[in-house]
A and B are shown apart, each in its own frame.
Chain A
Amino acid sequence: MYRYDEFDHRFVAERVAQFRDQAERRLSGELTEEEFKPLRLMNGLYLQLHAYMLRVAIPYGTLSARQMRRLADVADKYDRGYGHFTTRQNIQYNWIKLEETANLLAELSEVEMHAIQTSGNCIRNVTTDHWAGAAADELADPRPVAELLRQWSTLHPEFSFLPRKFKIAVTGAPNDRAAVKVHDIGLRMHANDKGEHGWEVIVGGGLGRTPLIGFTVRNFLPEADLLTYLEAIMRVYNLHGRRDNKYKARIKILVHELGEENFRAEVEAEFNRQTKLDVEVEQHELERISAYFAAPDFEVLPKRSADYEIAFARNPDFAQWVRSNIAAHRRDGYAIVNISLKPEGGIPGDATSDQMRSIADLADRFSFDEIRVSHHQNLVLPHVKQDDLYKVWKVLRANDLATANIGAAGDIIACPGLDYCTLATARSIPIAQTISRRFADLNRQHEIGPLRINISGCINACGHHHVGHIGILGLEKKGVEYYQITLGGSSATDASIGTILGPGFSGDEVPDAIETIVKTYLDVRKGGDETFLDVIRRAGHAPFKEALYAPAQRQ
C-alpha cells in the first residue's frame, strides 16, 4: 500500500500546524464562527447535536494494521472508545473537543493519516472498490489512480470553494462495487483491444434530494489525459454550478439544467483550451505511486485447501459464515474476508477500540497488513489464505465480528440520523437495530438471499436509501416521525433509483412492513436463484403494494 515520503509527511505536519493556528484564532475570538466554519470543515470537523464530530479520511478505504491501532487509540483517548465507519470509507468520531483536535490530528499524522477535505465544498475523499487488488474480476488495481487523485485534489487552489461538496469514485472492475454511477464523477476502467487501460468518465450521478444516475461524458479517456480532463470538468462546475440554492448546487443539477450534450460540449471546449498539465511529471508520479501497490508476496498455493474444506464440512457455523462473508480472490488458495460490522441489534458501522485492535492483529498475521473499509460500512481483510480462514473466523467470533450476514437482510446501511445529526428529521439507527433484531435468524437471512436495506434519517440521503433494494427514508410531519419505503434501488453495475411504494409508516410499523415485503418476495420468487431485486424488476411494485396496503383498505 501507499507510504508517505518526506514530502507527504511534511505536508500533513504543516497542515496540522495551520489548523492549530486557526483553532487558536477561533478560540480567542479573532475568527468568527462563520469564518472558522469552512476552515474547520476542510479539516473534517463538524458541529453536531451534542459535540464536535471529526471525520478522518481513509483514502480509498485502505488501512494498515498500524493505522487501525492508532484509530483505536484515538477512540480511547479522544472519544468514548469506539468509532463509526461511514459509507464513504471514512471513520467518524462523535465526541470531540475543539481544544483537543489539533493534538488528535498530530497523532494521526504520525501514522500517515489526516482529516483533510473530509467535509466542506471541496473534492472529498476519493473512494474505490473495497476489494481492489484482490478481486477475481478486476482489470487492474484502481488505487494508484485513486492516490494520484488524492494528491491532485488536496488543497487544490482552484477547487477549494466549489458550489457544493464533490465526490469521486473509481473502479477497476467490471462489477461495480464503488457505486460510480451515483457519484459527482465516477471513473470506470476499461481495456481497449491493444490492452491499454483508459477511463470511462461518468458525471452527474448522486443521491440526496434529487437522486440521479450519472451519464457517460467520455467512453474511453486515455490515462495521460485524466487530470487535465478532470480539471476541465471541475472548472465548468466551479464557474457555472448554481450557488443560489444549496439544494441545487451539486454538479448533477448543472448537468440536468444544461442537458447532457451541452454539458459535454462545455467540458470538451474547456479541455481543449486547457494548457495541458505537465503530463510527464504526472506520469512519473503515477508510476512512482503504482510501485507501492505492487501485489504482496503471495504464495503459490493449490486451488483448494484441505484444512479449510474439513473445517467447512464439520462446522456449520463456519460454513455459513464462509457462504456469506468470503469472496473469491484473484489468487488460488486465497480468499477475501468480509467482516460484518452489523451484529444483531448493533449500530451499523460502529466498532469498539478492542475490535479495531483485534482486526489489526488479524491483518498483521493473516492479510499482508491490509484492511479495507467498504462503503457498506463493513471491514475487509483482502488477502487471507484459505488455510487460515478457520483461525481468522474463530478470532472474529470471539470479538463479536463474525456475523454471517454480508449482503443479507441484517447488513443494513444507516446514517447517524436524529441520534447525532443536526439535519435529521427522524431516527435511523434505532430503526436499523429493530429490523436487524427482527431478521436475527441467520438461516432465514441466507434463505432470503441478497438484500440491501438502506436507511436515511432525512432527505439528504447519507444512508443511500435511494439505492437500497429496500430504502427507508425517515421524515417528519407535525412533530411525528414517519418512514417512506422505496423499492428497487441498486448502486451496482446496473444502478437504479428506487421508487416509492406508497404511504409511509410510523417507526413502530416499519419492521412489520419490511417483514411483509420480504414474505411477499419469498412467495413470488421463482426459486432461490431469483433475488429480491430480480423480482422487483420482473414483477414491479404491484404484489408488494397489494400485500402491504390492500388489507388495510379492505377493512
Chain B
Amino acid sequence: MPLLKDSEIIADTWLRLEDNASVPATGDIIVPFARLLAEFGKLSKRRGRVGIEFPNAERAEVLESFLPALSLVALPFPKFADGRAYSQARQLRQLGFAGELRASGDVLPDQLAFMLEVGFDTFEITTRFSPDIWRRTAQGLSLSYQPVKQQKRLHVWRERQLRGERSCRA
C-alpha cells in the first residue's frame, strides 16, 4: 500500500504486526493497541521504534502515559464518512504527541486537507487515484476560518487581526 507524505509517495519502513505475529528483534514495528498494553515491557526494550494502531473507540487519554515511548500512532478511518479519527488526532496533538500520525483505512483525496489540518503526517492510500490528484487536493483551499497547520494556508481571523494592527499603526 503506497504511503503518502508531503504529497510524495515514500517508502514505508514500518512493519505492521498482527495480533500474534512474532516481534522481530530490530526494525520499526506497528502493533495493535491491545498488544502494546499486554507486552509494553518487552516492546520498549527492543531496538527499533514502536508504533501502534489505535482503535477509534478508545479514548485518547488512555494513551497519555505511553506517548513518550511511541514514535507513531496510526488512526483508522473504517469509512471515509466516519470522522472519529479527526478528533482523536487533535486530542493526541493536544496531549503533546510529536511523533508520526498516520491515517489508514478509507483515506480519499477530498479529505486529505482536513486530515493534514488536524495533525496527520502520513497517509496509507490506494493506487486508485493519480498522484496528481493527491497533490491537487492536499492543500485544499488557501484560506481557513480555523487556525492552520499547513504553512501555505492562511488563518483568516489571524490575518484580519494582523492587518487591523498594521493599519492602526500606519
Contacts and interface: CB of A to CB of B under 8 A. Distances in A.
Contact of B82 (A18, A158, A243): A243
Interface in B75-121: 80-84, 86-88, 90-91, 94, 108, 110-111, 113-115, 117-118
A239 B160 contact: no
B84 A284 contact: no
A22 B143 CA distance: 19
A262 interface: no
Given A161-B81, A278-B147, A11 B113 contact: no
A155 B142 CA distance: 12
B86 A10 contact: no
Interface stretch (A269-277, A301-309, A347-355): A269-277
Contacts of B44: none
B146 A152 contact: yes
B84 A239 contact: yes
A10 B142 contact: yes
Interface residues of B, number: 38
A29 interface: no
Given A157-B113, A281-B161, A285-B157, A11 B87 contact: no
B161 A284 contact: yes
A265 B90 CA distance: 20
A22 B110 contact: yes
Contact of B146 (A157, A235, A274): A157
Interface residues of A, number: 40
Given A281-B157, A281-B158, A288-B164, A151 B145 contact: yes
Contacts of B59: 239
Contact of A151 (B94, B154, B156): B156
Contacts of B88: 239
Contacts of A7: 143, 154, 156, 159-160
A156 interface: yes
A154 interface: yes
Interface string A240-281: 000100000000000000000000000000000111011011
B141 interface: yes
Among A5, A121, A239, residue most surrounded by chain B Cβ atoms (within 10 Å): A239
Contacts of B114: 155, 157-158, 160
Interface string B150-170: 000011111111001000000
Given A7-B143, A157-B86, A275-B94, A284 B81 contact: no
B83 A160 contact: yes
A376 interface: no
A509 interface: no
A121 B81 contact: yes
Interface of B: 59, 80-84, 86-88, 90-91, 94, 108, 110-111, 113-115, 117-118, 136, 140-147, 154-161, 164
A226 to B, nearest CB: 14
B142 A14 contact: yes
Contacts of A39: 110
Interface in A361-393: none
B143 A285 contact: no
Given A161-B82, A235-B87, A238-B84, 18 more contacts: A15-B141, A18-B141, A22-B110, A35-B110, A38-B81, A151-B145, A155-B114, A155-B140, A158-B86, A159-B83, A160-B86, A161-B80, A239-B59, A243-B82, A273-B94, A280-B161, A284-B160, A285-B161
A5 B160 contact: yes
A30 to B, nearest CB: 8
14 contacts: A5-B160, A14-B143, A18-B141, A35-B80, A35-B108, A155-B140, A159-B86, A238-B86, A238-B87, A273-B91, A274-B94, A278-B147, A281-B161, A285-B160
Closest 8 CB pairs of A and B: A161-B83, A157-B117, A157-B114, A151-B145, A14-B141, A285-B157, A284-B161, A7-B156
Interface in A37-74: 38-39
B105 to A, nearest CB: 13
A81 to B, nearest CB: 34
A200 interface: no
A125 to B, nearest CB: 15
A162 B83 contact: yes
Given A35-B108, A239-B87, A284-B160, A154 B145 contact: yes
A282 interface: yes
Given A14-B141, A15-B141, A161-B83, A156 B146 contact: yes
Contacts of B156: 7-8, 11, 151
A278 B156 CA distance: 13
Contacts of B154: 7
B75 to A, nearest CB: 12
A155 B144 contact: yes
A437 B83 CA distance: 48
A467 B145 CA distance: 35
Contacts of B118: 157-158
A282 B159 CA distance: 12
Nearest to B95: A273
B135 to A, nearest CB: 13
